[in-house]
Structure 1
Amino acid sequence: MSRNIIITGAGGNLGSAVVEKFKREGYHIIALLHPGKNLEVEEADDSYEVDVTDEKAVAEFIKEYHLQYGEVDAMAFLVGGFAMGGIADTRQEDLEKMLNLNFFSAFHLVKGFMPIMKKQDKGTFLFVGARPALQNEDAREALAYALSKKMLISLAEIVGEETKNTPIRSHVFVPSIIDTPPNREAMPDDDFSKWVRPDEIAEAMHYAVNTHSLQNMTFKLYGQV
């Protein structure tokens, strides 16, 4: 019987590493890609173009998924975005953009798949937080980003409370700077060897999914930064 994992943002730098790891470990990969960007994930078994920030689009996908696959073993929420700006520079539209990308992109799927996981009595949610959401000194210059990630981490914790004493688990992965081409371009003078590699996050996610004694953990992947 195949093990199904849904991966949002599967075409991104972190997404590619997570797809590769779970594919190598024998999972059936269902990749969710943003509509209209013509992205392809060669290692995915199935791909769907879904705007995960759109509640109705997600609801339609969930109906389709339930008919096609039935059960789901894990879900990795990798869609996200970053923006600089302190209190004085942050507008409502900045907050709304970050909330859409970093919070609602996971919330709609959690809401829709929670009943499925409860019915099947298993499943793992994998959330990606950010260090500024845990350390306020890092949040000062990226307020909208930090607040949206704080909400995401709170969602993961509430999900963990709701599914307490069940086989359903909710894990959060909190990286510092991820070693990706865009980050290297933005910070060319930094020491990239101190950053967190996408494959290290992917390894941690696979470990969390397959170590059933771990219940609702927060993994801090700070590298040497």
Structure 2
Amino acid sequence: MNNVNGKIVAVTGAFGSLGLVAAQVLAERGARVALIGRGRAPDADTLPSQLADAFLLGGVDLGEPAPAQEAIDTIAARHGGLDALVNVAGGFRWETVADGSVDTWDLMFQVNVKTALNASKAAIRHLVASDAGRIVNISAGAALKAGAGMGAYSASKAGVARLTEALAEELKDKGVTVNAILPSIIDTRQNRADMPDADFSRWVTPVQIGTVIAFLLSEDAQAITGALIPVTGRV
């Protein structure tokens, strides 16, 4: 089991299906986790027991630089620093170019690229001050090849991949690694509802993604940076 014991980790998009499970996996392994979300923070008694002591920050619009900076600085001040940032915040739209809206492309860039950009930029000085700073972004397998209706989403997730590579180069001599995970279809309640006839057993689970995140935050992964890692189950 990869050791993240004692590491201070901020997780964005942490009130959603993937973010919450990823935070839980990290907390189970000893991380001190802060959960950031755009919506209202959930009541503590509704969270998994592993997150009973997690710091919750709701109502944070990471699409704007100032709220992102305030949230990251608040976490670092509360915990005495920041060791890792996990950028899960994002969204999805299926929409063809012919029948869709140009505005969807702006929306996907805002919720997928700018959230990761603003949170990462806010975290850099704190991560550089850590003994082993880490950033893990959630891109997507669709970043490598788009299908019909996936143009806006795939382009934005490709932007996350390029952000990952650029930041990795920028920070590699400052002791901070930056990597991205490229999931296939994630086994969530919403995806099951949207694709009820699919074979769910082929999909990757949030726990499986969470364990890869834990590895990338651990000392075992200190030599890995700028990687785009497919985590695709059997899709």
> TM-score, normalization: structure 2?
0.88
Which residue in the other structure is 1:173 paired with? 181
Residue matched to 2:30: 26
Distance 2:122 2:24 in 1: 26
Whether the 8 Å contact between 2:165 and 2:227 is mirrored in structure 1 is no
Secondary structure of the structure 2 residue equivalent to 1:7: strand
Q: CA RMSD in A?
A: 1.9
Gaps of 5+ in 2: none
Alignment of 1:89-168 (within 5 A): 89-120=99-130, 122-136=132-146, 138=147, 140-168=148-176
Aligned mates of 2:165, 2:67 — CA distance in 1: 25
Deviations 1:38-63 (A, max 9, x none): 56545152111122122221122233
Equivalent residue, structure 2, for 1:82: 92
**Contact 1:11-1:39 within 8 A present in 2 as well:** no
Q: Which residue of 2 aligns with 1:45?
A: 54
Runs of 4+ in 1 over 6 A off after TM superposition: none
d(CA) in 1 for partners of 2:27 and 2:122?
A: 24
Identity value in percent: 26
Q: Tell me by how many angstroms 1:69 deviates.
A: 2.6
Aligned to 2:14: 10
Q: Does 1:186 align with 2:190?
A: no
Structure 1 residue runs of 5 or longer lacking an equivalent are: none
Question: Is 1:207 aligned to 2:215, yes or no?
Answer: yes
Deviation at residue 37 of structure 1 after TM alignment: 6.5
SS of 1:88's equivalent in the other structure is coil
Name the structure 1 match of 2:233.
223
Aligned length: 223
Q: Which deviations, in whole Å up to 9, do the C-alpha atoms of 1:54-82 show, x marking residues without a partner?
A: 22211222332343233211111111111
TM-score (norm 1): 0.91
In 1, Cα distance between equivalents of 2:91 and 2:42: 19
Distance in 2, Cα, partners of 1:162 & 1:121: 17
